[in-house]
């Protein structure tokens, strides 16, 4: 019996000795390890983001800025009646009651968002409720003081805040401030212990951006575009204005548009930056590319004349009609009167390979590289995949898709003497008080045409506006020479051109001999019997460009026709023609 007792006591002594040794080991040798584990269970980090930088227009006017806004959060375990609290909060701030009830009902959580970036009135209503467990902090909220002005260009910012479109997305890393991590403690239930009136971190905000866009010109572009779309019952439209000498974007408008202060209320289609993201068939505005190829290759002489078939031509077994009946036209008259048959004659002389090379040299089929998110490259089929009649259709702008920006940029190359520049919207970045311009601006992408070809094309484009019977007469601006081209393109759907659906456009530059601006106006699907670019888009161009020239202080052309200068039409080949007789409108 005593032996058994001794054994039990010995085993007990060994167990207590082992326990004591383990306790000693935990408190001495592994002390630091478990202290650190305990601290980690109590600690976490709250990520706070400083304000984003401000975006300014070319004159220093604020287009996008960060302001302070109240945000509400809750500690669910401090809320006795989650359903009742959710109902009162939902009524105060317009939130979803069911979603709030679900969040507040999670008693295991020490932190949930209730409503972020509240409007001042909503925040005041919520504060007045004095609900237990509902607390407030201050966050940075993006604000656009000019509302919808240049909205598709600026883009918008999510609650995070992260840029989701436009400049806000393209320059997100530049505009965003550096994140600051604030340590907070967690209790045993792993709920964050937060404090009222959590202050914003003292950290430098993101860099400021200065744009090339002029708010005054942008406002007029948007106003005139919206008025034209409404006047003609159109589906929408767009405007692009560039400085031809640098590629700087002076204005870029889309219709429809949206207010970035409430971007969530706009359908996704209204938030698209049409000049950069949409593609379309350019129609007759593309005839200048064909004309450029003809001059660059030496396939034609400016004084050459062409049989335009009295309104039609059979090309490789297919009858292609003109929009009017023309007989014999000079090279320059083909452009002035916008003859499809004449353009086909030019394209046939140039040939498929050289036409394709010229198209690509002007940047079509590739992104321009503009510093905006979501740019489309358009579509140019490789010449090896062209069908028998593609050279004919491409000659007057069918069978190719381009963005409005690409077309405006191609005309900018004609305007400046032959250099294709990369378009851009940000002219300078300001960080910590230091303002720097990006090193690669302006950036020349190449020379698709010679200076001589550019000058010849410019004179031809003047005829479009000045010559009797020219299709762009409504683009004339008193006191300035204007050069440009009209376009009336049929719209394809599923590979078939739809009767009655057109894209009306005008693209040009002024003053013609010393261009300060290039501008493209597009009206998409105008309703009614008037759908030609010369009728609908040319006048919009004139009003927008007139304001831009005044705004930029561009002197008028004096004298209007130049002392001792040859009449324009005579200088390009032949006497001033009489307007062609009206014929059946086909495709242009």
Statement to judge: residues 227 and 159 lie in one domain: no
Statement to judge: residues 351 and 490 lie in one domain: yes
- Reported as half-sphere exposure (CB side, CA atoms, 13 A), residue 22 has a value of 6
Statement to judge: residues 204 and 220 lie in one domain: no
pLDDT for 118 equals 81
- Phi and psi at 312, nearest 5°, equal -165, 160
Q: What is the pLDDT along the chain (588 residues), one digit of tens a residue?
A: 566 666 666 666 666 666 666 666 656 666 666 555 655 555 555 566 678 999 999 999 999 998 877 788 888 877 777 787 778 888 887 778 787 777 777 766 667 887 787 878 888 888 887 778 788 877 778 999 999 999 999 999 987 788 999 999 999 999 997 776 666 555 545 444 444 444 445 667 899 999 999 999 999 999 999 999 999 999 999 999 999 999 999 999 999 999 999 999 999 999 999 999 999 999 999 999 999 999 999 999 888 998 887 777 778 777 777 777 788 889 999 999 889 888 999 999 999 999 999 999 999 999 999 999 999 999 999 999 999 889 999 999 999 999 999 999 999 999 999 999 999 999 999 998 898 988 888 999 999 999 999 999 999 999 999 999 899 999 999 999 999 999 999 998 888 888 889 999 999 999 999 999 999 999 999 998 889 999 999 999 999 999 999 999 999 997 644 444 444 444 454 433 333 333 333 344
We report the CATH number of the domain holding residue 87 as 3.90.1310.10
Statement to judge: residues 415 and 447 lie in one domain: yes
Statement to judge: residues 142 and 233 lie in one domain: no
Asked if the structure places residue 15 within a domain, the reply is no
We report the CATH number of the domain holding residue 529 as 3.40.710.10
Asked if the structure places residue 582 within a domain, the reply is no
Distance between CA atoms of 143 and 119, rounded to whole angstroms?
11
The two beta strands, 328-330 and 318-321, are unpaired
Distance between CA atoms of 232 and 498, rounded to whole angstroms?
19
Statement to judge: residues 368 and 499 lie in one domain: yes
Asked if the structure places residue 17 within a domain, the reply is no
- Reported as half-sphere exposure (CB side, CA atoms, 13 A), residue 579 has a value of 12
Statement to judge: residues 202 and 230 lie in one domain: no
Domain that holds residue 469: 215-257+277-297+321-431+443-558
Q: Using N-to-C axis directions, what is the helix angle for 287-296 and 404-415, rounded to 10°?
A: 40
Distance between CA atoms of 167 and 391, rounded to whole angstroms?
38
DSSP designation for 467: S
Burial grade of 411 (CB within 10 A; 0-12, 13-18, 19 or more): buried
Asked if the structure places residue 271 within a domain, the reply is no
DSSP H or E stretch at residue 236: strand 236-242
Statement to judge: residues 156 and 221 lie in one domain: no
DSSP H or E stretch at residue 315: strand 312-315
Statement to judge: residues 173 and 229 lie in one domain: no
pLDDT for 292 equals 98
Domain tally for the chain? 2
Q: Tell me the CA distances in angstroms from 277 to 128, 438, 448, one per residue in order.
A: 46, 24, 24
183 pairs with which residues across the strands? 45
Statement to judge: residues 146 and 245 lie in one domain: no
Statement to judge: residues 157 and 232 lie in one domain: no
Asked if the structure places residue 238 within a domain, the reply is yes
Asked if the structure places residue 122 within a domain, the reply is yes
Asked if the structure places residue 32 within a domain, the reply is no
For residue 257, give the nearest of 208, 283, 219 by alpha carbon.
Answer: 219
Asked if the structure places residue 287 within a domain, the reply is yes
Catalytic residues: 284
Task: Please give the distance of CA 496 from its chain centroid, rounded to a whole number.
Answer: 29
Statement to judge: residues 205 and 75 lie in one domain: yes
Q: How many CB atoms lie within 10 A of CB 444?
A: 13
**Contacts of 490 by beta carbon, 8 Å cutoff, 6+ apart:** 281, 283, 398, 497, 498, 501, 502, 587
Structure tokens given for 266: 């706009």
């Amino acid at each position: 019996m005593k032996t058994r007792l001794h054994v039990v006591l010995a085993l007990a002594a060994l167990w207590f000795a082992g326990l004591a040794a383990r306790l000693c080991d935990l408190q001495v040798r592994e002390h630091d390890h478990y202290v650190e584990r305990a601290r980690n269970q109590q600690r976490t980090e709250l990520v706070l983001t400083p304000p984003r930088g401000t975006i300014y227009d070319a004159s220093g006017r604020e287009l996008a800025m960060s302001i302070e806004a109240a945000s509400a959060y809750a500690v669910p375990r401090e809320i006795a009646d989650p359903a009742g609290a959710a109902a009162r909060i939902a009524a105060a701030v317009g939130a979803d009651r069911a979603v709030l009830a679900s969040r507040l009902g999670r008693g295991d959580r020490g932190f949930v968002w209730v409503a972020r970036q509240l409007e001042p009135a909503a925040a005041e209503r919520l504060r007045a409720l004095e609900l237990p467990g509902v607390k407030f902090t201050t966050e940075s909220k993006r604000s656009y003081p000019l509302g919808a002005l240049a909205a598709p260009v600026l883009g918008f910012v999510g609650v995070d805040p992260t840029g989701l479109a436009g400049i806000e997305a393209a320059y997100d890393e530049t505009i965003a401030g550096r994140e600051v991590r604030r340590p907070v403690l967690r209790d045993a239930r792993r709920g964050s212990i937060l404090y009222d009136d959590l202050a914003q971190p003292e950290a430098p905000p993101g860099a400021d951006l200065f744009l090339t866009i002029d708010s005054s010109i942008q406002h007029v572009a948007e106003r005139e575009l919206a008025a034209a779309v409404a006047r003609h019952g159109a589906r929408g439209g767009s405007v692009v204005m560039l400085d031809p000498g640098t590629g700087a974007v002076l204005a870029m408008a889309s219709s429809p548009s949206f207010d970035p202060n409430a971007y969530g209320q706009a359908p996704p289609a209204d938030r698209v930056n049409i000049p950069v993201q949409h593609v379309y068939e350019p129609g007759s505005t593309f005839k200048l590319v064909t004309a450029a190829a003809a001059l660059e290759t030496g396939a034609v002489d400016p004084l050459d004349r062409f049989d335009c078939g009295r309104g039609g031509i059979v090309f490789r077994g297919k009858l292609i009609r003109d929009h009017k009946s023309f007989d014999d036209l000079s090279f320059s008259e083909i452009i002035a009167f916008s003859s499809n048959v004449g353009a086909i004659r030019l394209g046939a002389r140039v040939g498929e390979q050289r036409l394709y090379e010229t198209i690509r040299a002007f940047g079509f089929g590739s992104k321009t590289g503009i510093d905006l998110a979501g740019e489309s490259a358009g579509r140019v089929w490789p010449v090896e995949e062209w069908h028998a009649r593609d050279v004919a259709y491409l000659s007057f702008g069918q069978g190719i898709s381009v963005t409005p920006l690409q077309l405006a940029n191609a005309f900018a190359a004609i305007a400046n003497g032959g250099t294709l520049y990369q378009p851009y919207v940000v002219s300078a970045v300001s960080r910590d008080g230091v303002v720097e311009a990006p090193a690669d601006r302006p950036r020349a992408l190449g020379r698709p045409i010679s200076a001589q070809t550019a000058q010849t094309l410019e004179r031809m484009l003047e005829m479009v506006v000045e010559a009797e019977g020219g299709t762009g007469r409504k683009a004339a601006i008193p006191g300035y020479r204007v050069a440009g081209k009209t376009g009336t393109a049929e719209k394809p759907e599923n590979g078939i051109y739809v009767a009655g659906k057109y894209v009306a456009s005008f693209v040009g530059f002024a003053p013609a001999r010393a261009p300060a601006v290039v501008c493209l106006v597009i009206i998409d699907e105008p309703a009614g019997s008037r759908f030609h670019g010369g009728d609908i888009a040319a006048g919009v161009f004139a009003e927008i460009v007139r304001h831009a020239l005044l705004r930029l202080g561009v002197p008028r052309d004096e004298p209007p026709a130049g002392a001792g200068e040859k009449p324009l039409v005579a200088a390009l080949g032949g006497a001033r023609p009489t307007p062609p007789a009206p014929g059946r409108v086909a495709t242009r």
